[in-house]
């Protein structure tokens, strides 16, 4: 996969359910971190904001409902899509689930293809290039499905790292990414790479984007990192 896979946080206390979900989500190519109670999940979210949260309704220590409420109350985590899982299917629960701010709600037993389709639909909002979508900024267009990048009428040739870098920037135009954040998102969190490597690849990306002319869209933010636009 040439774009860093979305990171999903799976919060489910029943081991068998958790294993099945983990298996299905990893089979889709997602990076999955798991928690079996609400408090641990809250700590994991503090450490690293996931791209999506699959959240069981009834959890020990801190319930899924309460955790969802907290996630949606904080500016730093509000935009993370949350899918709530529930064993109960009463309409009143569904309404309560959505009232907590959950983005979607799935009743167990759920249909696997439908569940995965709903995850893709939510990820299209937060990680469009990772699920085959197209992203554009000014005259630059990146297609997650064909892995092509165009600027105006020209096809651009980007190395795999520059492609992932551009996808990361395009998913959040204007956001300043620190070198460490770029390392996590583009190279992966388990790989040791010197932060200066980021500068080298940003340089290559700039060169590739401007090879047929046009302004350099990437901004260096002194002491902070890089941003698109």
Under the binding rule (CB under 5 A), the answer on residue 104 touching Ca ion is: no
# residues contacting Ca ion (CB under 5 A): 3
Under the binding rule (CB under 5 A), the answer on residue 171 touching Ca ion is: no
- The CB-of-51 to Ca ion minimum distance in angstroms stands at 23
Interface of this chain with Ca ion, residues 205 to 224, rule: CB under 5 A: none
55 and 41 Cβ atoms separated by less than 8 Å: yes
Under the binding rule (CB under 5 A), the answer on residue 86 touching Ca ion is: no
Q: Which of 56, 103, 171, 184 binds Ca ion (CB under 5 A)?
A: 56
The residue among 158, 165, 142, 168 whose CA lies nearest residue 211 is 158
Q: Which stretch binds Ca ion (CB under 5 A): 49-57, 98-106, 113-121, 123-131?
A: 49-57
State yes or no: cis peptide before 105, omega within 30 of 0.
Answer: no
Under the binding rule (CB under 5 A), the answer on residue 62 touching Ca ion is: no
169 and 149 Cβ atoms separated by less than 8 Å: no
d(CA 126, CA 121): 10
Structure tokens at 103: 């983005």
Q: Which of 58, 116, 141, 143 binds Ca ion (CB under 5 A)?
A: 58
Please tell me whether residue 53 adopts helix, strand or coil conformation: strand
Tell me the backbone φ, ψ of residue 136, rounded to 5 degrees: -135, 150
Nearer to Ca ion, 86 or 129 (CB): 86
Nearer to Ca ion, 82 or 228 (CB): 82
Nearer to Ca ion, 44 or 58 (CB): 58
Under the binding rule (CB under 5 A), the answer on residue 13 touching Ca ion is: yes
Please tell me whether residue 52 adopts helix, strand or coil conformation: strand
Q: Mark residues 107-126: x for contact with Ca ion by CB under 5 A, - for none.
A: --------------------
d(CA 41, CA 59): 10
Can you give the binding site for Ca ion, defined by CB under 5 A?
A: 13, 56, 58
């Amino acid at each position: 996969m040439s774009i860093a896979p979305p990171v999903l946080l799976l919060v489910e206390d029943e081991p068998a359910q958790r294993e099945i979900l983990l298996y299905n989500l990893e089979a889709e190519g997602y990076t999955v971190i798991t928690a079996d109670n609400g408090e641990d999940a809250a700590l994991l979210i503090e450490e690293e904001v996931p791209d999506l949260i699959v959240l069981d309704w009834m959890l020990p220590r801190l319930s899924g409902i309460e955790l969802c409420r907290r996630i949606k109350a904080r500016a730093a985590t509000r935009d993370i899509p949350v899918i709530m899982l529930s064993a109960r299917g009463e309409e009143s629960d569904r309404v309560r689930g959505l009232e907590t701010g959950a983005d979607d709600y799935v009743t167990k037993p759920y249909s696997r293809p439908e569940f995965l389709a709903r995850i893709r639909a939510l990820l299209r909002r937060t990680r469009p290039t990772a699920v085959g979508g197209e992203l554009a900024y000014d005259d630059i267009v990146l297609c997650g499905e064909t892995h092509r990048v165009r600027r105006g009428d020209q096809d651009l040739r980007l190395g795999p790292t520059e492609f992932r870098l551009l996808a990361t920037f395009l998913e959040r135009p204007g956001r300043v990414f620190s070198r460490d954040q770029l390392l996590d998102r583009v190279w992966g969190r388990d790989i040791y790479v010197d932060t200066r490597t980021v500068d080298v690849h940003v340089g290559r990306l700039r060169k590739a984007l401007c090879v047929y002319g046009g302004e350099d869209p990437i901004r260096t933010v002194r002491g902070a990192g890089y941003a698109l636009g």
